[in-house]
């Protein structure tokens, strides 16, 4: 008995509303895992990148090694990166997160460092004249002025993480990448297309959200109307 012509699942069509309704929970779980892996890896990458950028800013001899190391890490292919981290983390979500953190460092460190270096020296001198110590100057003057460049790096790192999470499907922790990988193995068109579109939506939404945060946090960069 042949399938009805309107049964898009049986006909294995690319666009299929029945797939969305019948696999709602699977899609939700995969999307949630994708968001969690992305958010955790980017936040950890930011926590690691900030002290590295500060060290490169205040210690000239550290600039070369820091930028060189983060650049080398970014050039390692994802499969090779996961293989190198496998003995430490095993087949776990930590393996994917560690890889994404290392990949994010070159983008975050370079942009944070560029933002810090762009702070005018006269601004620092004025802050010192007002009695600002090193820590207060960093928190109240340098980091706020470096925020636009840092946020630009954060946006790129976040969008990159959204796409790289899918590679985690090789170890079973790839979020929507799991659905893309299994769908390609079975040539399940609706699953491949739906999961891919959701990845694009997450990337665009994350970029727009961070852009909105940047505009709210840096009101001085807006043009006066």
DSSP state of 219: G
Which of 53, 39, 222 minimizes the C-alpha distance to 142?
Answer: 53
Which of 111, 95, 100 minimizes the C-alpha distance to 73?
Answer: 100
Q: In this structure, is residue 3 part of a structural domain?
A: no
Query: What are 198's two structure tokens?
Result: 């959701």
What pLDDT is recorded for position 3? 47
Its domain, for residue 90, covers 17-219
What pLDDT is recorded for position 46? 94
Total domains, the chain: 1
What pLDDT is recorded for position 225? 43
Q: In this structure, is residue 196 part of a structural domain?
A: yes
CATH number of the CATH domain containing 192: 1.10.3720.10
Q: In this structure, is residue 10 part of a structural domain?
A: no
Residue-wise pLDDT for 171-224, tens only, equals: 888 889 999 998 888 888 888 999 999 999 999 999 999 999 988 887 777 654
Q: In this structure, is residue 11 part of a structural domain?
A: no
Q: In angstroms, rounded to a whole number, what is the distance separating the alpha carbons of residues 49 and 3?
A: 55
What pLDDT is recorded for position 223? 58
DSSP 152-199: HHHHHHHHHHHHHGGGGGGGT--THHHHHHHHHHHT-HHHHHHHHHHH
Which of 13, 55, 5, 35 minimizes the C-alpha distance to 189?
Answer: 13
Q: In this structure, is residue 12 part of a structural domain?
A: no
What pLDDT is recorded for position 38? 95
User: Which residue ranges of the chain lie beneath pLDDT 50?
Assistant: 1, 3, 5, 224-225
Q: In this structure, is residue 114 part of a structural domain?
A: yes
CA dihedral 203, 147, 108, 196 (to 10 degrees): 0
């Amino acid at each position: 008995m042949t399938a009805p012509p309107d049964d898009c699942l049986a006909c294995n069509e690319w666009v299929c509303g029945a797939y969305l309704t019948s696999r709602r929970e699977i899609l939700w779980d995969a999307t949630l895992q994708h968001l969690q892996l992305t958010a955790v890896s980017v936040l950890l990458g930011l926590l690691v990148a900030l002290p590295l950028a500060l060290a490169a800013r205040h210690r000239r001899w550290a600039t070369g090694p820091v930028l060189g190391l983060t650049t080398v890490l970014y050039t390692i292919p994802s499969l090779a990166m996961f293989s190198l981290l496998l003995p430490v983390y095993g087949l776990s979500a930590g393996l994917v997160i560690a890889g994404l953190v290392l990949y994010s460092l070159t983008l975050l460190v370079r942009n944070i460092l560029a933002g810090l270096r762009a702070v005018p020296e006269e601004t620092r001198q004025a802050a010192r004249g007002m009695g600002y110590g090193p820590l207060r100057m960093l928190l109240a003057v340098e980091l706020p002025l470096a925020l636009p460049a840092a946020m630009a790096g954060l946006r790129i790192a976040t969008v990159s993480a959204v796409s790289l999470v899918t590679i985690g499907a090789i170890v079973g922790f790839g979020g929507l990448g799991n659905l893309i990988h299994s769908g390609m193995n079975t040539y399940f068109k609706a699953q491949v297309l739906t999961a891919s579109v959701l990845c694009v939506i997450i990337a665009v939404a994350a970029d727009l959200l961070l852009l909105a945060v940047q505009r709210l946090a840096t009101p001085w960069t807006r043009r006066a109307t």
